[in-house]
Structure 1
Amino acid sequence: MVNLFSKRLKRGRIFCLFLMLIVHNSWSAQIEGTQSLFNQAEQIRSSDPVQFITIIEKLKQREELLTKEQSHNLKYLIGYSLSFQGKFDEALTIYKNILSSNAQTTLKLKANLSIVNTYAISKQWPEGLYYLSDTLNTLPKISDDLLIQRSYAVAAIFYNQLGQYELGLSFANKLLQESIEGRTLCVAHNLKLESLFKLDLLEENDPQIREGIEACQQSNEVVMVSAIYSYLATLYLKQNNPHQAISILESNFDSLKTTKYVPYLAIFNSLLSQAHHDLGTNRQAEEYALVAIDEAKNINISNSSVNAYRVLYQIAESRGDHKMALEYHKKFAEADKAYLDDIKTKHLAFQLAEHQATEQKSRIGLLDKQNNLLKIEQRLARSEAENNRLFIALLIAIITLLSFWGYKSWMTQKRLKQLAEFDALTGVFNRGHFTQLAQSALQYCENSDIYLSCILFDLDKFKTINDSYGHACGDWVLKRVADVCKVQGRSNDIFARLGGEEFSILLPGCDLLTATKLAETCRKAIEQIDTRNSGAKFIITASFGVTDAKLSGYDLEKITADADMAMYCSKHDGRNRTTVFGRALADENANVNAGENAGSEASENRQGRLTL
């Protein structure tokens, strides 16, 4: 009996051990399988969006089995998926929660980089610059080569999206200098080609295009391959080769459709529309244009819409359908203005960030000096307690030192005031100080019932000057334009550079007729600038917009917006001209031209006529 019981007990123990071994092996297999899913998701997150979402759903089903770090990683992948679907606010919430959690430093850096990338896509430039600066400042402390490479990639992406293509190109080159392969190599080539394309430094036979396509095809990055094909197709269209452009686009169109990535679907349809219009196949061109507009409707600002509306306008005009042509032209003008305004907004955001960084450095320097002064005072106080015989000498030293540092602080404050009020390049008021002075002037003129006018002007094709002759030449042009315009006005006129190549003159006590004459005088003076001292020979022109308080009221935003609208009309009507806001002042503008001689009138009608 005892032997039988002992045998059964032994068998039971063996069975339990066998069962525990099975459970352990099953548990280990699940852990290994889960980590394999994470690795797979990381590899295909942009190349295969459909499979990526499927993997996320599988990981959600195993959420109870995940470690803390795997849970944080799953949240990050969910945030990435939301970003890819355009749900930026939800994605940003997840990323920022990771930053405030106890996740590992590497995952926090990934989240920070995704925040920068999301802000770039959603066009929230100041916020993106803040997080990008924080990321780049921490890079020297990072030893993970993959994270460093990814940081370079995100920086290049952000700067390209912001329109700072020189910076984007520098980070793309840094990335290509790293030991990279696969998807990262594809991203690096794509970013460099985008920067070169936007800087007009890319040609259709450039071997870098083929290198980029091969790198992205090997890693199955369909979206990035499509981006490179869009650059190549655009270059063919510029070379008046629409057949080749269509061939390039159609060869990759089916693959792009599988990604359902709307921005490049809109770009492809827009380019196909333009190519067919160049060939004269207007039916196909119209179909592609309408699809491009429909796909781009959920994109805030898109050059695809601008190109598509232009094609539709030209097709309607060729058919003699003037009503539809006018409707499409209005939409084209609206989309084109929004696109140009978006470019200006990007440049302004970057300039503002640079100004804030400079101001912050100045403040830090001032605080350092103040801290040094406190340390010196403490040392002097200790020395006085140790040796009273040196009291007088030390007191003189303190007074001298305080006077010196006081003078330095005064000079620093003076310099800060100069930076805060004046544009460093041209010497005229900057945008911030102009706003303060303009508000005061408008309030005073409104209370005193005094005339007030506003002139807004923008240099024509300034980017071409920068691209053709260099930024040093462009800076020379801005300074020379500011100099010649300053001497035309009065001492109490408020003359400012609003940003880039855009200037404004607020004229208290000046009626619309006088302001229009001044605008014409400035326009002619700009056109007569001798550019040979810049090292190149070219002509500078500007487009002017004029309004006054009677037409636009005493609200700064309204009066500048009306002047900007008039200036935009000058741009639209052929540039190098002055446009007055509103039709009620036609007689006054006629008087402006009445004093010109017959030869001057003919020249003005060709180049600088007043538009009412």
Structure 2
Amino acid sequence: MNLAHWLAIILAISSIIYPNRPYAADDIQHSLLRADQLRSSEPAEFKVILAALETQVDKMSTEQLHYFNYLSAYKLSFQGQFDKAVTIYSQILNSNANDTLRFRANMSIINSHAISKNWSQGLAHLAINIDLLPSIQPKEIHQLGLLIAAMFYNQIRQYELGLNYAKRLEAKVSQGRNFCIAHNLKLESLFKLELLEEDDPQIREGIEACQQSNEVVMESAIYSYIAALYLNKDKPDEAINILESNYSDLKATKYAHFLAVFDSLLSVAYLKTDTLERAEEHALTAIDYSTNIGNNEPTVTAYRVLYQIAESRGDHMMALEYHKNYAEADKAYLDDIKTKHLAFQLAEHQAAEQKSRIGLLDKQNNLLKIEQRLARSEAENNRLFIALLIAIITLLSFWGYKSWMTQRRLKQLAEFDALTGVFNRGHFTQLAQSALQYCHNSDIYLSCILFDLDKFKTINDSYGHACGDWVLKKVADVCKVQGRSNDIFARLGGEEFCILLPGCDLLTATKLAETCRKKIAQIDSSDSGAEFMITASFGVTDAKLSGYDLEKITADADMAMYQSKHDGRNRTTVFGLVDSDENAESEGIESRQGQLTL
């Protein structure tokens, strides 16, 4: 489920924050608590109370003023003015307000960043809430903090962390909405981690928890996991049975996201049973439900099913159109996944860097203390002073060496991919921008090669991630040998690599790409402990065709690479016009007139 939708559900029940707390004697406190209780259930009355409170601002205590500002920010969020609301929430977070109010304000900031898909900022504020969590006494808010942490981590595909917080929440509740959500998040994490079986007793526990609180949407989410497990085991009839028997209840909720999930799964199930008309009907319905959801897996699944149906009917024009839509949806969906993964990596890197800086400050502080002791003892014993001074110099040398090693390690982490030893995406971007600018100013050739390993997920799934890591390192080593020392070779993420070649024309770059492709295909996988083929699809362009803009030249190379994928994989495709050179033809390189369209 989309995190913004989850948070909307959870924050909508925030009137439970102080359900049994008696009103304070003064009217201002009474009105503040009343407004907080009504802010989601009775928005009109909430606005009336807030307007009356605005006339009493000068009579409020500091804590009451923080409370009033929080409610005012909530009103702005409700009206869609998220930037203004976040400004006020941030002021509360950085103020002397009590921990509970600061925690609630920060949860609202997390929600705003989730809606705008600003995952890096969302992770930064989630870390603040996790630090505050032990000091939060109201059990409802404490549970809400655990719940949001589990949902946020699941949304950015960090399912191990999501599972941890879901289990912590499950241990603190035994009934009600939060109990249902805790089960749902736990099952989602287990499903995505491939640790869930369709007959797992935890599934029945989750369904019963959601039925007790009449949470149809979250109960339907669990049914979707079961259906997907059946389809993974090639049991389409069982999947159809469980989805169809619960479809009408879900449809009554009009919840588009899970209706799209149900319909996309039904389209796959009916396709497996050769019931093509039903499969087509559900695929089209899934796409219709997904229209306003953004990049999502049901859309990808539905277009793939429609493409397969059209192809089976011999309608090649329609099949081509559906395949184009499928490729575009799949790329957009994968780009979202990459964005979330990079945001999490950045957050981890920043946390490590911050920890290193704190350690360095601690060492510097220790150094100052030692120097003070030396100054006080100088008058008492000159010989002791000299001995201590020598010790300080030794310690300084040691700490200096350690600091140099730490900085060197941080530089390595910041510039190179830890697995393959080639540049990472961030450092590649910096080097590539400089190279493009230099070549542009100097009117020098520049070419770009982008390639992606074919069916890499199958290798990971069949032989394990250790084998997949071996493949990535081997491919990187093979390709590094073929290039020049000034080529900019990077792993952009997953199984995708890029080589930027300053001073290299298109024909030479194409030959290099073809050489790399052949060398990859010749890799002996037996050293990995398994026997399988390794191939890659290449896309090539140069600055004359795509210009000196990094985003444009990599996008064109990416488009050519996807054409290679589309044309059968394990081949090289040149973007735009390619000279009909005998050498190019002898290498088996495709030449295409005009821009490639997938």
Question: Scaled by the length of structure 2, what TM-score is found?
Answer: 0.81
1:594 aligns with 2:586: yes
Q: CA deviation at 1:559?
A: 1.5
1:509 aligns with 2:494: no
The structure that is helix-richer by fraction is 1
Check whether the contact 2:564–2:570 (CA below 8 A) recurs between aligned residues. yes
Q: Which amino acid aligns with 2:332?
A: A
- 1:338 maps to 332
1:545 aligns with 2:539: yes
Check whether the contact 1:79–1:90 (CA below 8 A) recurs between aligned residues. no
1:549-587 deviation line (CA, Å, top 9, x unaligned): 2222222222222112222222333333322212x2162
Q: Match for 2:354 among 360, 368, 374?
A: 360
- 2:552 maps to 558
Check whether the contact 1:121–1:161 (CA below 8 A) recurs between aligned residues. no
Partner of 1:587: helix, strand, or coil? coil
- 2:181 maps to 187
1:331-387 deviation line (CA, Å, top 9, x unaligned): 222112111111121212222222222222222222222222222222222222444
Which moved further from structure 2: 277-286 or 292-301? 277-286
Q: Match for 1:585 among 555, 578, 587?
A: 578
Q: Match for 2:446 among 452, 460, 463?
A: 452
Q: CA deviation at 1:135?
A: 1.7
Larger Rg: 1 or 2? 1
Check whether the contact 1:384–1:394 (CA below 8 A) recurs between aligned residues. no
Q: CA deviation at 1:107?
A: 4.0
Q: Match for 2:207 among 203, 208, 213?
A: 213
The gaps in structure 1 that reach 5 residues or longer are 1-26, 42-51, 596-600, 602-608
Counterparts of 1:3-152 in structure 2, within 5 Å, are 54-57=41-44, 72=67, 79=74, 96=90, 99=93, 104-142=98-136, 146-152=140-146
The alignment covers a number of residue pairs equal to: 559
1:240-265 deviation line (CA, Å, top 9, x unaligned): 44444343233333332343322222
- 1:223 maps to 217
- 2:18 maps to none
Check whether the contact 1:37–1:55 (CA below 8 A) recurs between aligned residues. no
1:312-333 deviation line (CA, Å, top 9, x unaligned): 4445555665544443332222
Check whether the contact 1:157–1:191 (CA below 8 A) recurs between aligned residues. yes
Q: Which amino acid aligns with 1:544?
A: F
1:439 aligns with 2:448: no
Which moved further from structure 2: 294-303 or 308-317? 308-317
Change (3 A) 1:220 1:119: farther
Q: Which amino acid aligns with 2:584?
A: V
- 2:263 maps to 269
- 2:3 maps to none
Partner of 2:226: helix, strand, or coil? helix
Q: CA deviation at 1:104?
A: 4.4
Q: Which amino acid aligns with 1:585?
A: V
Q: CA deviation at 1:95?
A: 5.2
Which moved further from structure 2: 233-242 or 70-79? 70-79
Change (3 A) 1:295 1:425: same
1:196 aligns with 2:201: no
Which moved further from structure 2: 243-252 or 548-557? 243-252
Partner of 2:490: helix, strand, or coil? strand
Q: Match for 2:466 among 464, 472, 475?
A: 472
Change (3 A) 1:91 1:573: farther
Change (3 A) 1:437 1:303: same
1:416-458 deviation line (CA, Å, top 9, x unaligned): 3333322232222222322232223223333333322211222
1:523 aligns with 2:517: yes
- 1:310 maps to 304
Q: Match for 2:370 among 373, 376, 380?
A: 376
Check whether the contact 2:86–2:109 (CA below 8 A) recurs between aligned residues. yes
Q: Which amino acid aligns with 1:594?
A: S
Root-mean-square deviation over aligned CA pairs: 3.8
Q: Which amino acid aligns with 1:138?
A: L
Check whether the contact 1:431–1:499 (CA below 8 A) recurs between aligned residues. yes
1:450-482 deviation line (CA, Å, top 9, x unaligned): 322211222333344444444433333322222
Following the alignment from structure 1 to structure 2, what is the Cα–Cα distance between the partners of residues 385 and 291? 88
Q: Which amino acid aligns with 1:587?
A: S
Partner of 1:521: helix, strand, or coil? helix
Partner of 1:205: helix, strand, or coil? coil
Change (3 A) 1:343 1:586: farther
Partner of 1:362: helix, strand, or coil? helix
Q: Which amino acid aligns with 2:492?
A: L
Change (3 A) 1:474 1:111: farther
Following the alignment from structure 1 to structure 2, what is the Cα–Cα distance between the partners of residues 509 and 81? 54
Partner of 1:487: helix, strand, or coil? helix
Change (3 A) 1:113 1:493: same
1:142-198 deviation line (CA, Å, top 9, x unaligned): 455554443332222111111222322233333334453322221122112212222
- 1:17 maps to none
- 2:288 maps to 294
Check whether the contact 2:69–2:88 (CA below 8 A) recurs between aligned residues. no
Change (3 A) 1:274 1:184: same
- 1:485 maps to 479
Following the alignment from structure 2 to structure 1, what is the Cα–Cα distance between the partners of residues 365 and 69? 46
- 1:255 maps to 249
Change (3 A) 1:490 1:463: same
1:165 aligns with 2:159: yes
Following the alignment from structure 1 to structure 2, what is the Cα–Cα distance between the partners of residues 37 and 442? 57
Following the alignment from structure 1 to structure 2, what is the Cα–Cα distance between the partners of residues 294 and 233? 21
Which moved further from structure 2: 166-175 or 278-287? 278-287
Q: Which amino acid aligns with 2:330?
A: D
Q: Which amino acid aligns with 1:358?
A: A
Which moved further from structure 2: 283-292 or 412-421? 283-292
